[in-house]
Chains A and B, each alone.
Chain A
Amino acid sequence: MNRDEVDSSIRALIEPFNKKNVEIGDDTTFAGDLEFDSLTVMDFVAAIEDEFDIIISMNQQAEIESYGDLVDAVCELTEG
C-alpha cells in the first residue's frame, strides 16, 4: 500500500472523530487542532489498528503529533 492509499484510508477513518470538521493536512495536530482527548485517541487508534492489522503502542503514539506523522508511521508499520 503506498502513502496515498494509506492517507485516503485514514482520512475516511478520522471522519467520525473530527467533530468540528477541521480541515486536515499533514501538519494538523491531534491534541491542538483536533482537540482529541485520551478516550478519543484510544478509539481512533483502535480503528486504525483494526483497519491495517497493526499495533501502535503508546510509546509509538507519543512520537505521533500530526496527521502526517500518523500516515508515515502507518506506512512504516504496514511495510514489514
Chain B
Amino acid sequence: MSEGVNQADRPLVSDNAEVAAPRDLFSKFDEVIHTRETLLASGVEDPFSLVMERVLSPTRAVCNGRDTILLGTYNYMGMTFDPDVIQAGKDALDNYGAGTTGSRVLNGTYAGHKAVEEALKDFYAMDHAMVFSTGYQANLGIISTIAGKGDYIVLDIDSHASIWDGCALGNAEVVPFKHNDIVAMDKRLGRIPEGAGKLVVLEGVYSMLGDVAPLKELVAVARKHGAMVLVDEAHSMGFIGEHGRGVAELQGVIDDVDFIIGTFSKSVGTVGGFCVSNHPKFEIMRLVCRPYVFTASLPPSVVATACTSIRKLMHGSNKRAHLWENSKRLHGGLKGMGFTLGTEEPQSAIVAVIMPDLERGAAMWEALLYEGLYVNLARPPATPAGMTLLRCSLCAEHSSEEVETILGMFGRAGKAVGII
C-alpha cells in the first residue's frame, strides 16, 4: 500500500500499534505431535502409516516389500476375495456404473440398494433394514436422530467412537456407566426423571479387548425401565449366534432389542453400515436422519458385493467353526507363552495382547512386522484405561498352519523385545 493513503472502510491503525500474533489453531495438537515424533525418533517404523502394496488374499499382503500375514483386518469371514462376491461387483460396475452421485432419497437408490436391504432383512429376520454409507454413519445417524432433546442415552463407557459421536451430534442427555456393569446401568436408568425417553446403547463384542457384553442381563434391565435398546453387533455378524446374528441372538435376547447396528466392513468384506429393526415406524428414518439423507449412497458395485456376501454368510457354518478353532488356538498359545491377554478365555475373533507401554508396544509391533505379521497397534484414546494393545483379529481363511506360524512369530518377537 502506498504511504499516506487511507482506505475509507478500514479502521485507522497508528504506526506503532502492535499487531496481535495470530493464535495457531493447530497448537492444540502439539502434545499428539510430540508423542508421535518421540516414537518415530526411537527408530520404529510408523505404525499408523503402513501401506499394503499388494493384497494377495484375505490373509496375505505385501507390505514394504515383505510377504505379510494379516492378523488385524476384521475380515473375519474372508469374504473380500470370494469369487462370487467379486463377480457380483464386476457385473454391477458393468451394468450400473462406478457410482450413484446422489443421496438415497434423491437419485441414489438403485435396484442393488433395495436388494442388499432385502438380504439384511432375511439375514436378521427383521421387518426393516436401512443401509448407510459407512458403519460410523449408521451409529451417528440412528443415535442422534432417535434420541432428542429431553431424552436420555445410557451407554457403556467403552463404546466405540461412532456411538459417542452420535451422542455428540444429537441433543439428548448422555449418561455413561462402567463397562459391562449391570448394577451401574440399573441405577442410572432408575434415576432418570419419569416420562423422559430412554435409549440404552450397547455393543455385542467390544473391539478393543474382544470381550462380550452380558446382553441377557443388560437388556432385561433396560426393558424393566422401559428403555429402548440399540446393540452394535459390528464384530459378531456372521459367526456369533445360531444364524450369525450376533451376541444378542447367542444370549437369546434378540427379540427384545429394538435396533441392531452393523457394518459391511468386517465380516461382509466391503464398506457400508446398516440398522435393522422391527419398529413399525422405522421407515420414517429415511426422511429424518441427516447422516442418511445428506450423503451420497454406496456405489452399485459395493452394494452388489455386500448383498452376495450377506447371502453367502447365511450358510457359512463350516467357516464359522474354523474361525472359532483359530481364535481358541491363538488365545491358548499366546497365554501359554506368558503374554497378558484382554480376556481370560477367547470370547470372540479378537485376541488383544496387552503391552506394558506404548514404547514396547510399538517395538513389538515392528518386530512382528519384520517377522512378516501385521497386527493392529491400538493406543489411547481408542483403548480403555490408557492401555496399549496389539490387537489380533482372526479370519476363517487363516489355515491351522498359519496360526502356528503366527504363534512362532509372537514367541520370537516377544523374547527379542523382552515382553515374555
Chain A positions within 8 Å of B, measured between CB atoms, are 37, 39, 42-43, 46, 49-50, 53-55, 57-60
Residues of B contacting A58 with CB < 8 Å?
167, 173-176
Give the size category of B's interface with A. Answer: 10 to 19
Q: In angstroms, how far is the closest chain A Cβ from the Cβ of B171? A: 9
Contact indicator A59/B188 (Cβ below 8 Å): no
Chain B positions within 8 Å of A, measured between CB atoms, are 152, 157, 167, 173-178, 184, 187-188, 191-192, 384-386
Contact indicator A59/B157 (Cβ below 8 Å): no
Closest to B164 in A: A58
A39 CA / B385 CA spacing, docked (Å): 7
Contact indicator B188/A42 (Cβ below 8 Å): no
Residues of B contacting A49 with CB < 8 Å?
187-188, 191
Q: A39-B385, A42-B157, A46-B184 are in contact. Are A55 and B174 (CB under 8 A)?
A: no
**A59 partner, pick from B174, B192, B384, beta carbons under 8 A:** B174
User: Total contacts A to B, CB within 8 angstroms?
Assistant: 34
Q: In angstroms, how far is the closest chain B Cβ from the Cβ of A39? A: 6
SS class, residues of chain A in contact with chain B: helix
Contact indicator A57/B385 (Cβ below 8 Å): no
Contact indicator A57/B152 (Cβ below 8 Å): yes
Residues of B contacting A42 with CB < 8 Å?
157, 176, 178
Closest to B152 in A: A57
Contact indicator B176/A55 (Cβ below 8 Å): no
Contact indicator A55/B157 (Cβ below 8 Å): no
A19 CA / B356 CA spacing, docked (Å): 22
Contact indicator A57/B174 (Cβ below 8 Å): yes
A58 CA / B192 CA spacing, docked (Å): 13
Residues of A contacting B384 with CB < 8 Å?
39
Closest to B171 in A: A59
Q: A39-B385, A42-B157, A46-B184 are in contact. Are A55 and B178 (CB under 8 A)?
A: no
Q: In angstroms, how far is the closest chain A Cβ from the Cβ of B235? A: 23
Residues of A contacting B173 with CB < 8 Å?
57-60
Residues of B contacting A53 with CB < 8 Å?
191
Contact indicator B175/A57 (Cβ below 8 Å): yes
Q: A42-B178, A46-B184 are in contact. Are A55 and B385 (CB under 8 A)?
A: no
A to B CB contacts below 8 Å, 11 in the list: A39-B384, A42-B157, A42-B176, A49-B188, A49-B191, A54-B191, A55-B175, A55-B188, A55-B191, A57-B174, A59-B174
